[in-house]
Structure formats: structure tokens, C-alpha cells
Structure 1
Amino acid sequence: MNERGDAMGAFHDMPDLAGRVLGGSVLAASDESFEAKENLLNPWVPTFREGTFGPKGQEYDGWETARRRPDEHGDLGHDWALVRLGLAGVIRGVVIDTAWFKGNYPPHASVEACAVDGYPSVAELAAADWTEIVPRSPLDGDAAHAFPVDLERRFTHVRLNMFPDGGIARLRVHGDVVPDPALLAGLTVDLAALENGARVVRCSNMFYSSPDNMLFPGSARNQAEGWETARRRDLTGHDWAEIRLAAPGIVRVAEIDTTHLKFNAPAAVTLWGLDGRAADTGDPAAWRPLLPRTRVQPDTRHRFRVPGADEITHARLDLHPDGGMARLRLLGDLTPAGLTALTDRFQRLRDPQRDDGRPLLADRRPTAPPTARRP
């Protein structure tokens, strides 16, 4: 079986907290003379068509500012873009991608982050307490630059700085979602929702797309926005995904959504649960059935009651034999232990100091970052 394994440790496989599909938005920018700031969060791979000249010159799929000139003091200044994360959380890594910007990319960039509750204005964010999470670092043209972040704090916004000007195609902010427990306490919640902190921790196959997709908010707009496996030729087996729930809870309703999967939906599904505090997820005998093997239809939103369920921390969805899943919802109740776990984590990650008193951000000198050049 092909499990996610070590790949789960790479921040590239974590959700893009700034992603537009998760609610991220570019609130403001110092300049967008050539290309709009909103392009930074486009979900697709940056594209380019040579010879597409508009009123402002060659068109690029990214954010591009005007050329800066020194002021009377010889100061160039720098450009910046302010991003509200779609999902607040702990940032594990940042990708700054200068795809297709070859003669007009910025030579350096940095990233800052802050945590502001509610829905602050741009002016309020300007006065916030910002923390540098990526120091000023050199960039190359037409390359994706990956910067790991070692800072155990919950953030809500980031600010991308480029020195002094130029074009950046994409900004990705990968990390762990940390929800506000005040919005979940006492309510029926989706225990499998990414926005509530759930994640897929293992799966059998993710040939076409990530299984985390089925935990995204909203409805899938096409089959690419769900999870889809390769065609299984071993007819004795089946595909599966293991989900770590947002917190310990009791599942009351399971929603199995195969919308847009017309010819590649599974024939049937099975749903299992396990309390990871008392059992090993690797022990097949420890899993208890939540939903028996049940036939499902293509391009259909199914809802099933889950009677007499126990408190669990993990769920496993089996696809028989293979196929795709647009969305998985596990609606239920947080237990007292679950709410306590969420609250403790939320409060701990708002504290800017570790328990031992050391600053959370290690002393890191700017170095040439790893790059992924395009052919």
C-alpha cells in the first residue's frame, strides 16, 4: 500500500492556509501597477503566454509592481502585500514562487505574520504586532523558493515584502489549522472538517488528488476538488483514508458526497472509528464500525445516521474498490475532553513563549533558500 508516510512531515503536503479556496484574501498592497495582487493566491499552477501584451505590457499570472526610483534621500523603499489567512493556524512553511518572472523578479523577499482576533481593517493590521517568520532572503527568477518556519504560534495574517519591487507569481502558506474553540463549543460540528482542525494522516492512494480535499469547506465545483485514487487492478483490496478528527467527539451523521464523480465513484463505502488515546491506529482489530459496507451512487450527496457511536479520535473511510470522494462530513458533538483539548491548544499557541521561556523563533540568518527551477 502507498501510505503518505514521511510525506506528511513535509510542509508542502500541509494545507495552504492562505489558499483562496479556504477563504484567503489579499487585503491590500503597496502597488499593483502591472498585475493584480489577487493573483498571488490563485489556486492553479502559474501560467504564461508569450506575446500577450496589454495596455500595461506583457501579461503575467502573478503580482507585479512598478519600478521604484530613489527618493530625495536615495531610499528605494519596498513593496508589500497583506494577506488574510483563510484558516488561522501554525505556519510550518512558506513558498514564494517567481514563476515566469525572469527579468523582473525581486532580488529579495521576507514574510511577517500577526494574530488579530475578529475582522480587522487594513489600518488596524498596520498597527498590529508583526513577527518575522521568513527573514529577508535572496530570490531567483522563475523558481519556487521553500522556507520552513519553526514557530509554534497561531497566526491570522501574513505580510509579504519584496525588496525593492518586481513580480511574484504565488504565495503559499502551509501549516496546521488551529480553530477558535469558542465557535465550536456547545454546537453540532463537522468533526472531519479541515477548518475545524481535522486532517487526513494516512491513505492508500492519492494518485490524482490529495485526500485532504474531501475535508475542504463548501461543495466541490468539479471532480478535481475532491479525492480520487488510481484505478485499482487488485480486486481483492480497496482504497482507504484515515482521518484524525478535529478533537475527540461522537459522530451522529455521516455525509458521503460523490458529487461530480459520475464514472469514477466507489461502488460502496465503509466507515470505521477508533479512540487513538486507548488503541493503536495500526491495529486492524481496534477499529469499530460506524457505517457498515453501504452502496453509494455516483454524483450524489448521501447522508446516513450513525447510531450508538462511541467517542473517537480517528475515522477511516474505505472505498470499495477504488474511486473518488468529493466531500466527507462527520457531523457530531465534541465531548468534554475534546473541547478541553481544543481550548488548551488554542490558548497555548496564543502564548509567544515556550514553556521553558525560550523565544519560539530560532535565530536564523538569511541564507540562499532551496529552489525548484523550471525547465
Structure 2
Amino acid sequence: MEYGDFHELPDLALRSLGGSVLYANDEAFAQRENLITPGPAQFDRSLFGPKGKVYDGWETRRRREAGHDEVIVRLGAPGIVRGVVVDTAWFTGNYPPEASVEGLCVDGHPAVDELLATDNWVPLLARSPLKGDAANEFPVDSGQRCTHVRLRIYPDGGVARLRVHGRALPDPRQLDAVGVFDLAALEHGGVALDCSNRFYSSPNNLLLPGPIRSMGEGWETARRRDDGNDWAQVGLTGEAQVRVAELDTSYFLHNAPGWASLRGRTGGGDWFELLGRTPLRPDTRHRFLIADAAPADEVRLDIYPDGGMARLRLLGALTPAGRAELGRRWSEAQPDR
């Protein structure tokens, strides 16, 4: 599926997805880790610390020599980057005038020294002008899988958040070793393709790793005032047979859906039933066996009539066709050795 709006794709660098800021050449005023914190940057005009104004972002000292500042981020889920956001929220007189972003694909868990020494970085965003106190948004045209990104700012200054939007592309060799896995998980290449309503939050929250810690970390729709129902459509890792579905309403006490159902389809064809309309309980992890289901590469979750869900897990295994397609995409996304 082609995406006209990269913002609808998950942030692969997000801390809650497993991202980490491995290196910064300077963080004199504000820590590098703030760059990948979920949610918008916060600001308290009256808050000062021993090093000056406290910012919810990454800020370097004023340069007195030529050069630039940089950070390296390990993506929580390696994949194909479709867009980046260099957010300078609250940085008004101290934001960098320009920035660039590069990507790297490496196996394993390289040390910082190895990342700094390699010449295999590829451009994702050429050196581009930034605005202060703004979400500077840039589409990315690249087919290479990235495990790390490097943000460079020219010459110095502060950035509140770095968002790296894309779709994860997992290593098929690792999935082969596991066999049965969560086909909808963001880290395995699952993604929310569409939904009826995202008033409170994105349906991609359904696919994040781990349990939620509050209602705000799930997917919640506005209250319906008609006879319809809300739904979310999820693209799976590849064509697969779903065997177990987990519908989690944890932390949704008075606004969980009353019922839910699941349907699947392959190649954009007709929908078929995976799980009929079933009652749900508030604040509960529901597990359902899916018996003898046909293969699917997309699943639609319908909730009745509206409400909030914490997580959607779809456990199963790729079909031979699904494995072959994932292998093809994996091969085409590797850097030129």
C-alpha cells in the first residue's frame, strides 16, 4: 500500500517502540534522550536549572568554531523510512537554521565507535532549512531498510523531537526461527492502514509492544451518536494464518467497546470472518482461538459501537507465499554491499 501521508505511519524511533539515542557530540543544555520521548514537548517558562533554561528536547552549546552537532538514534523497529519530522517546539531564538538526516543499515548491535567510523550512511534528508518553534516535516524517498538514523544540525541549537515515520521490515530469518509470532506488531511490520476515527489517538497504538500503562496509550474513538460502529484495518507482516487473537481492553473501564469482531482478507479481496461479533469486558485481556481460518494479509477489527482498546495481538505463522514476499522485500531493501 502506498501512503499519501507519512504521518499516519508509526514513528520507528519512538522510545516506547524500543528506540534509543546512542550518541550526541554535545548535550550541554538539554539531554539527547528527549528527542524520542512519546508525546509533544512540554514547556515551563519559569523553569531554570544550573545550566540555564530547562527544555524538553536536545540542545547544544553555542559554537565558536566551524562545524555541526549530531546525534545517532537506533530505531526501535528497523524499516523503510517514509518521512521525518524535526520538531523545534519551544525553541525560538536557539533553534538550528538547518538540519540533515542520514540512515544506516547494519546487522547486530554495533558500538558507537563503529557507527562513527562507518562510511555507509545514506542521505534521507539533504541539508534543509528549519523554522523555529515548528514541526518541520519532510517526506523521504528511499527504499533502503534503516536500523539507525543520524540527525545533524547546522551549526548548533535545540531540537525538541525527532520523528522517523515508516513501516518496519523485520529480518525474515529471525521470524523463521520463531515460527508463530504477532503478525500485527509494529516491530514485525504490522501497521494500521485505516480506521473510522482517531479522535483521541492513533490506531497504531494497538500494535505497540508491551502492555499499556494508562488509557492514553491505547486507541480510543469519539462517542458515536448514530447507529454505526468504529473499526481499524491492520496490515499484517505478510500473508499468514491467524491462530489466536488477543483483544485487550486494559485500563478502559467505562469506555470499552461492548462487542468486537474480526475479519480478514488477502490481496484486497473479499472480507471473511475470523471472529464473529463477541462481547467484551472492560479492563480485560480477551484471548480467542481462530480455528481453520483462511490466509489473510489484512485484518479488520470492528468495535461496537465505539470506545477504546489497549492492544490487538494476532498470533500466527506466515504462509509459504507470505514468507517468499517478505524475503523479496527484505532483499530489495538491503544496502548495496
- TM-score after normalising by structure 2: 0.96
Is 2:99 the partner of 1:140? no
Find 1:117's aligned residue among 100, 107, 114. Answer: 107
Q: What amino acid is aligned across from residue 51 of structure 1 in structure 2?
A: S
Q: Report the Cα offset of residue 140 of structure 1.
A: 2.1
Secondary structure class of the residue paired with 2:176:
coil
1:77 aligned residue: 67
Q: Report the Cα offset of residue 352 of structure 1.
A: 4.2
Question: RMSD of the alignment, in Å?
Answer: 1.6
CA distance in structure 2 between the partners assigned to 1:339 and 1:146 by the alignment: 34
2:42 aligned residue: 47
Q: Report the Cα offset of residue 127 of structure 1.
A: 2.2
Mind listing any 5+ residue stretches in structure 2 that lack a counterpart? none
Q: Report the Cα offset of residue 207 of structure 1.
A: 1.2
Find 1:227's aligned residue among 214, 219, 228. Answer: 219
2:80 aligned residue: 90
Secondary structure class of the residue paired with 2:135:
strand
Is 2:105–2:335's contact at 8 Å kept on the other side of the alignment? no
Is 2:274 the partner of 1:290? yes
1:361 aligned residue: none
Find 2:249's aligned residue among 238, 252, 258. Answer: 258
CA distance in structure 1 between the partners assigned to 2:168 and 2:318 by the alignment: 17
1:180 aligned residue: 171
Give per-residue Cα distances to partners, 1:223-278, cap 9 Å, x unaligned. Answer: 111111111111x32111111111111111110100011011011111111122xx
Q: Report the Cα offset of residue 185 of structure 1.
A: 1.2
Mind listing any 5+ residue stretches in structure 1 that lack a counterpart? 71-75, 281-285, 354-375
Q: What amino acid is aligned across from residue 224 of structure 1 in structure 2?
A: G
1:373 aligned residue: none
1:357 aligned residue: none
1:370 aligned residue: none
Is 2:295 the partner of 1:311? yes
Q: After the TM superposition, which parts of structure 1 deviate over 3 Å for at least 4 consecutive aligned residues?
A: none
Structure 1 residues 263 and 96, CA, compared in 2 at 3 Å: closer, same or farther? same
Is 1:197–1:245's contact at 8 Å kept on the other side of the alignment? yes
Is 1:116–1:125's contact at 8 Å kept on the other side of the alignment? no
Q: What amino acid is aligned across from residue 327 of structure 1 in structure 2?
A: R
Q: Report the Cα offset of residue 351 of structure 1.
A: 4.3
Q: Report the Cα offset of residue 39 of structure 1.
A: 0.8
CA distance in structure 1 between the partners assigned to 2:12 and 2:265 by the alignment: 28
Is 2:25 the partner of 1:35? no
1:24 aligned residue: 19
Is 1:153–1:352's contact at 8 Å kept on the other side of the alignment? no
Is 2:31–2:59's contact at 8 Å kept on the other side of the alignment? yes
2:159 aligned residue: 168
Which structure has the larger Rg? 1
Is 2:60–2:157's contact at 8 Å kept on the other side of the alignment? yes
Is 2:205 the partner of 1:196? no
